[in-house]
Protein backbone atom coordinates (compact mmCIF):
# COMPACT_ATOMS: atom_id res chain seq x y z
CA UNK A 1 0.00 0.00 0.00
CA UNK A 2 1.46 3.37 -1.05
CA UNK A 3 0.97 6.72 0.62
CA UNK A 4 -1.52 7.65 -2.11
CA UNK A 5 -3.73 4.71 -1.15
CA UNK A 6 -3.87 5.63 2.54
CA UNK A 7 -7.22 7.22 3.34
CA UNK A 8 -8.73 8.80 6.41
CA UNK A 9 -10.42 5.47 7.14
CA UNK A 10 -7.07 3.72 7.44
CA UNK A 11 -5.85 6.36 9.87
CA UNK A 12 -8.98 6.02 11.98
CA UNK A 13 -8.62 2.23 12.22
CA UNK A 14 -4.85 2.33 12.87
CA UNK A 15 -5.05 2.86 16.69
CA UNK A 16 -7.49 -0.03 17.01
CA UNK A 17 -5.27 -2.27 14.87
CA UNK A 18 -2.24 -1.49 17.04
CA UNK A 19 -4.16 -2.22 20.24
CA UNK A 20 -5.65 -5.38 18.71
CA UNK A 21 -2.21 -6.80 18.00
CA UNK A 22 -0.75 -5.58 21.32
CA UNK A 23 -3.50 -6.81 23.63
CA UNK A 24 -5.44 -9.35 21.55
CA UNK A 25 -3.58 -11.24 18.84
CA UNK A 26 -0.15 -10.93 20.49
CA UNK A 27 -1.17 -12.41 23.87
CA UNK A 28 -3.18 -15.09 22.05
CA UNK A 29 -0.11 -16.19 20.10
CA UNK A 30 2.00 -16.17 23.25
CA UNK A 31 -0.63 -18.25 25.07
CA UNK A 32 -0.50 -20.76 22.22
CA UNK A 33 3.29 -21.01 22.59
CA UNK A 34 3.06 -21.29 26.39
CA UNK A 35 0.49 -24.07 26.10
CA UNK A 36 3.20 -26.31 24.61
CA UNK A 37 5.83 -25.32 27.17
CA UNK A 38 7.08 -27.19 30.22
CA UNK A 39 7.99 -25.13 33.27
CA UNK A 40 11.03 -25.73 35.42
CA UNK A 41 11.86 -23.36 38.25
CA UNK A 42 9.25 -20.93 36.94
CA UNK A 43 10.96 -20.74 33.55
CA UNK A 44 9.23 -21.97 30.39
CA UNK A 45 10.90 -24.68 28.33
CA UNK A 46 9.28 -23.93 25.01
CA UNK A 47 7.85 -26.77 22.90
CA UNK A 48 8.93 -29.37 25.45
CA UNK A 49 5.51 -30.40 26.79
CA UNK A 50 3.78 -31.59 23.66
CA UNK A 51 0.05 -32.03 24.37
CA UNK A 52 0.53 -32.84 28.05
CA UNK A 53 -0.76 -29.44 29.21
CA UNK A 54 -3.95 -29.89 27.21
CA UNK A 55 -4.44 -33.42 28.54
CA UNK A 56 -3.80 -32.26 32.11
CA UNK A 57 -6.24 -29.32 31.86
CA UNK A 58 -9.09 -31.04 30.03
CA UNK A 59 -8.95 -34.24 32.10
CA UNK A 60 -8.99 -32.42 35.44
CA UNK A 61 -12.00 -33.45 37.54
CA UNK A 62 -13.04 -29.77 37.87
CA UNK A 63 -13.01 -29.02 34.14
CA UNK A 64 -16.37 -30.50 33.07
CA UNK A 65 -18.33 -29.07 36.05
CA UNK A 66 -16.86 -25.62 35.31
CA UNK A 67 -17.89 -25.89 31.65
CA UNK A 68 -21.37 -27.04 32.65
CA UNK A 69 -21.72 -24.09 35.03
CA UNK A 70 -20.87 -21.58 32.31
CA UNK A 71 -23.08 -23.41 29.82
CA UNK A 72 -26.04 -23.14 32.19
CA UNK A 73 -25.26 -19.48 32.76
CA UNK A 74 -25.22 -18.82 29.00
CA UNK A 75 -28.53 -20.61 28.48
CA UNK A 76 -30.15 -18.28 31.00
CA UNK A 77 -28.28 -15.01 30.52
CA UNK A 78 -28.33 -14.73 26.72
CA UNK A 79 -32.11 -14.96 26.14
CA UNK A 80 -32.91 -12.95 29.28
CA UNK A 81 -30.43 -10.23 28.33
CA UNK A 82 -31.36 -9.92 24.67
CA UNK A 83 -35.12 -10.23 25.06
CA UNK A 84 -35.17 -7.98 28.13
CA UNK A 85 -33.07 -5.19 26.62
CA UNK A 86 -34.79 -5.22 23.22
CA UNK A 87 -38.20 -5.36 24.86
CA UNK A 88 -37.45 -2.41 27.15
CA UNK A 89 -35.98 -0.37 24.31
CA UNK A 90 -39.06 -0.96 22.14
CA UNK A 91 -41.40 -0.11 25.02
CA UNK A 92 -39.55 3.13 25.76
CA UNK A 93 -39.60 4.08 22.09
CA UNK A 94 -43.37 3.63 22.07
CA UNK A 95 -43.64 6.17 24.92
CA UNK A 96 -41.54 9.05 23.64
CA UNK A 97 -41.03 12.20 25.69
CA UNK A 98 -40.00 12.92 29.28
CA UNK A 99 -41.09 9.51 30.55
CA UNK A 100 -38.76 7.69 28.17
CA UNK A 101 -35.89 10.03 29.03
CA UNK A 102 -36.34 9.50 32.76
CA UNK A 103 -36.59 5.73 32.42
CA UNK A 104 -33.49 5.53 30.19
CA UNK A 105 -31.59 7.43 32.87
CA UNK A 106 -32.88 5.09 35.59
CA UNK A 107 -31.83 2.03 33.59
CA UNK A 108 -28.43 3.56 32.87
CA UNK A 109 -27.55 4.39 36.51
CA UNK A 110 -26.77 0.78 37.61
CA UNK A 111 -24.13 0.65 34.86
CA UNK A 112 -21.98 2.90 37.04
CA UNK A 113 -21.85 0.06 39.58
CA UNK A 114 -20.37 -2.76 37.55
CA UNK A 115 -17.88 -5.57 37.95
CA UNK A 116 -16.53 -6.30 41.46
CA UNK A 117 -18.52 -3.46 43.00
CA UNK A 118 -21.77 -4.95 41.71
CA UNK A 119 -20.87 -8.32 43.25
CA UNK A 120 -20.22 -6.78 46.66
CA UNK A 121 -23.48 -4.86 46.42
CA UNK A 122 -25.28 -8.08 45.46
CA UNK A 123 -23.97 -9.85 48.56
CA UNK A 124 -25.45 -7.01 50.62
CA UNK A 125 -28.76 -7.10 48.71
CA UNK A 126 -29.14 -10.88 49.07
CA UNK A 127 -28.35 -11.00 52.79
CA UNK A 128 -31.73 -11.41 54.56
CA UNK A 129 -30.34 -9.80 57.73
CA UNK A 130 -29.30 -6.45 56.24
CA UNK A 131 -30.92 -6.28 52.81
CA UNK A 132 -33.45 -3.53 52.05
CA UNK A 133 -35.58 -6.42 50.75
CA UNK A 134 -35.22 -8.23 54.08
CA UNK A 135 -38.94 -8.79 54.54
CA UNK A 136 -39.36 -10.30 51.07
CA UNK A 137 -36.36 -12.61 51.46
CA UNK A 138 -37.52 -13.79 54.88
CA UNK A 139 -41.03 -14.32 53.52
CA UNK A 140 -39.49 -16.61 50.88
CA UNK A 141 -37.91 -18.64 53.67
CA UNK A 142 -34.35 -17.30 53.50
CA UNK A 143 -32.69 -16.56 56.84
CA UNK A 144 -29.00 -16.15 55.95
CA UNK A 145 -27.16 -15.09 52.80
CA UNK A 146 -26.00 -18.68 52.26
CA UNK A 147 -29.63 -19.68 51.69
CA UNK A 148 -29.83 -17.30 48.71
CA UNK A 149 -26.34 -17.51 47.22
CA UNK A 150 -26.16 -21.25 46.67
CA UNK A 151 -24.30 -23.02 43.85
CA UNK A 152 -27.53 -23.92 42.03
CA UNK A 153 -28.69 -20.29 42.16
CA UNK A 154 -25.49 -18.76 40.81
CA UNK A 155 -26.40 -18.78 37.07
CA UNK A 156 -29.59 -16.82 37.81
CA UNK A 157 -27.80 -14.48 40.24
CA UNK A 158 -25.06 -13.72 37.71
CA UNK A 159 -27.72 -13.18 35.04
CA UNK A 160 -29.48 -10.60 37.21
CA UNK A 161 -26.18 -8.90 38.00
CA UNK A 162 -25.18 -8.71 34.36
CA UNK A 163 -28.59 -7.53 33.21
CA UNK A 164 -28.98 -4.66 35.64
CA UNK A 165 -25.36 -3.58 35.24
CA UNK A 166 -25.34 -3.59 31.44
CA UNK A 167 -28.94 -3.11 30.32
CA UNK A 168 -28.84 0.68 30.46
CA UNK A 169 -25.97 1.02 28.01
CA UNK A 170 -27.54 -1.36 25.51
CA UNK A 171 -30.94 0.31 25.85
CA UNK A 172 -29.28 3.62 24.93
CA UNK A 173 -27.71 1.98 21.85
CA UNK A 174 -30.98 0.41 20.74
CA UNK A 175 -32.91 3.60 21.43
CA UNK A 176 -30.53 5.48 19.16
CA UNK A 177 -30.96 2.83 16.48
CA UNK A 178 -34.74 3.08 16.77
CA UNK A 179 -34.58 6.86 16.45
CA UNK A 180 -32.67 6.46 13.18
CA UNK A 181 -35.60 4.64 11.57
CA UNK A 182 -37.29 6.82 9.00
CA UNK A 183 -40.58 8.32 10.18
CA UNK A 184 -41.98 7.66 6.70
CA UNK A 185 -41.63 3.91 7.26
CA UNK A 186 -43.49 4.08 10.58
CA UNK A 187 -46.19 6.32 9.13
CA UNK A 188 -46.65 4.03 6.14
CA UNK A 189 -47.04 1.00 8.43
CA UNK A 190 -49.54 2.91 10.57
CA UNK A 191 -51.56 3.90 7.51
CA UNK A 192 -51.60 0.22 6.49
CA UNK A 193 -53.26 -0.65 9.79
CA UNK A 194 -50.37 -1.46 12.14
CA UNK A 195 -50.96 -0.55 15.76
CA UNK A 196 -48.14 0.43 18.15
CA UNK A 197 -47.34 -3.17 19.11
CA UNK A 198 -47.29 -4.38 15.51
CA UNK A 199 -45.09 -1.45 14.56
CA UNK A 200 -42.67 -2.36 17.32
CA UNK A 201 -42.42 -6.06 16.49
CA UNK A 202 -42.87 -6.24 12.71
CA UNK A 203 -41.29 -2.94 11.64
CA UNK A 204 -38.86 -1.64 14.25
CA UNK A 205 -37.45 -4.91 15.56
CA UNK A 206 -36.33 -6.26 12.14
CA UNK A 207 -34.63 -2.94 11.33
CA UNK A 208 -32.43 -3.08 14.44
CA UNK A 209 -31.43 -6.74 14.10
CA UNK A 210 -27.79 -5.88 13.27
CA UNK A 211 -27.55 -4.17 16.66
CA UNK A 212 -29.19 -7.16 18.32
CA UNK A 213 -26.63 -9.47 16.70
CA UNK A 214 -23.84 -7.16 17.84
CA UNK A 215 -25.15 -7.30 21.41
CA UNK A 216 -25.47 -11.08 21.23
CA UNK A 217 -21.85 -11.44 20.10
CA UNK A 218 -20.43 -9.22 22.84
CA UNK A 219 -22.68 -10.68 25.53
CA UNK A 220 -21.75 -14.23 24.56
CA UNK A 221 -18.04 -13.42 24.54
CA UNK A 222 -18.23 -11.63 27.88
CA UNK A 223 -20.32 -14.28 29.63
CA UNK A 224 -18.07 -17.12 28.48
CA UNK A 225 -15.19 -15.32 30.23
CA UNK A 226 -17.01 -15.15 33.58
CA UNK A 227 -14.48 -14.72 36.39
CA UNK A 228 -14.84 -11.75 38.76
CA UNK A 229 -18.34 -12.55 40.02
CA UNK A 230 -17.83 -16.17 41.18
CA UNK A 231 -14.28 -15.39 42.32
CA UNK A 232 -15.39 -12.61 44.65
CA UNK A 233 -18.37 -14.54 46.00
CA UNK A 234 -16.11 -17.53 46.74
CA UNK A 235 -13.52 -15.26 48.38
CA UNK A 236 -16.17 -13.55 50.52
CA UNK A 237 -16.95 -16.85 52.20
CA UNK A 238 -20.65 -16.06 52.47
CA UNK A 239 -21.61 -19.33 50.80
CA UNK A 240 -19.93 -22.66 49.95
CA UNK A 241 -18.99 -21.73 46.38
CA UNK A 242 -16.19 -23.53 44.56
CA UNK A 243 -13.15 -21.45 43.67
CA UNK A 244 -13.12 -23.22 40.31
CA UNK A 245 -16.78 -22.59 39.47
CA UNK A 246 -15.97 -21.24 35.98
CA UNK A 247 -13.26 -22.27 33.47
CA UNK A 248 -11.49 -18.95 33.93
CA UNK A 249 -11.31 -19.61 37.66
CA UNK A 250 -9.88 -23.05 36.98
CA UNK A 251 -7.31 -21.46 34.66
CA UNK A 252 -6.42 -19.01 37.44
CA UNK A 253 -6.01 -21.91 39.87
CA UNK A 254 -3.71 -23.73 37.45
CA UNK A 255 -1.56 -20.64 36.93
CA UNK A 256 -1.32 -19.17 40.41
CA UNK A 257 -2.21 -22.15 42.59
CA UNK A 258 -0.25 -24.90 40.87
CA UNK A 259 2.17 -22.79 38.85
CA UNK A 260 1.12 -24.67 35.69
CA UNK A 261 0.87 -21.81 33.22
CA UNK A 262 0.78 -24.23 30.30
CA UNK A 263 -2.49 -25.80 31.49
CA UNK A 264 -3.88 -22.33 32.21
CA UNK A 265 -3.02 -21.28 28.66
CA UNK A 266 -4.73 -24.41 27.30
CA UNK A 267 -7.99 -23.43 28.99
CA UNK A 268 -7.68 -19.79 27.92
CA UNK A 269 -7.24 -20.85 24.29
CA UNK A 270 -10.32 -23.07 24.53
CA UNK A 271 -12.38 -20.15 25.84
CA UNK A 272 -11.02 -17.97 23.03
CA UNK A 273 -11.99 -20.62 20.49
CA UNK A 274 -15.50 -20.90 21.94
CA UNK A 275 -15.92 -17.13 21.74
CA UNK A 276 -14.70 -16.97 18.13
CA UNK A 277 -16.87 -19.90 17.00
CA UNK A 278 -19.89 -18.41 18.74
CA UNK A 279 -19.31 -15.04 17.05
CA UNK A 280 -18.89 -16.66 13.63
CA UNK A 281 -22.10 -18.68 14.05
CA UNK A 282 -24.02 -15.57 15.04
CA UNK A 283 -22.62 -13.64 12.08
CA UNK A 284 -23.49 -16.47 9.72
CA UNK A 285 -27.00 -16.84 11.11
CA UNK A 286 -27.79 -13.13 11.07
CA UNK A 287 -25.78 -12.08 7.97
CA UNK A 288 -25.39 -8.59 9.47
CA UNK A 289 -22.35 -7.89 7.32
CA UNK A 290 -23.89 -9.14 4.10
CA UNK A 291 -23.53 -6.73 1.18
CA UNK A 292 -26.46 -6.72 -1.21
CA UNK A 293 -25.60 -7.41 -4.83
CA UNK A 294 -27.10 -4.08 -5.83
CA UNK A 295 -24.54 -2.26 -3.73
CA UNK A 296 -21.52 -4.47 -4.42
For position 278, which CATH number holds? Answer: 1.10.3720.10
Residue 2 placed within a domain: no
By DSSP bridging, strand 43-45 and strand 38-40 are antiparallel
Distance CA 202, CA 208 (A): 11
What's the mean pLDDT in 178-182?
88
Residue 285 placed within a domain: yes
Average pLDDT, the chain: 85
Distance CA 198, CA 21 (A): 45
For residue 287, pLDDT over 70 is answered with: no
Domain tally for the chain? 1
Nearest 5°: the CA angle 233, 277, 85 is 55
Tens-place pLDDT, residues 66-112 = 999 999 999 999 999 999 999 999 988 887 778 778 888 888 877 77
For 3-48, give the DSSP string. Answer: GGG--HHHHHHHHHHHHHIIIIIHHHHHHHHHTT-EEETTEEETT-
According to DSSP, the residues that pair with 43 across neighbouring strands are: 40
For residue 268, pLDDT over 80 is answered with: yes
Where does the chain have alpha helices with state H?
Answer: 8-20, 26-34, 52-58, 63-94, 98-108, 116-125, 134-139, 145-148, 154-179, 183-191, 196-198, 205-207, 209-224, 228-236, 247-256, 261-286
What's the mean pLDDT in 144-150?
83
- Full-model pTM: 0.85
Residue 75 placed within a domain: yes
Domain region containing 276: 62-250+263-295
Amino acid sequence: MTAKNISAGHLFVLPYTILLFAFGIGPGIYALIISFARFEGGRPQFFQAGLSNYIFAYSDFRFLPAMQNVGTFLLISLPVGVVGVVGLALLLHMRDGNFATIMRTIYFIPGAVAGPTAVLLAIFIFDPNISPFRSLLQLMGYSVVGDVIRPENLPLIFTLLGFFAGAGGWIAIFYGALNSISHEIIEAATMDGCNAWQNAWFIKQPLIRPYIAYMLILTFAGNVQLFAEPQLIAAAGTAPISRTWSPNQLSYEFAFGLGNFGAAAAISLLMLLIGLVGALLILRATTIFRVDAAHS
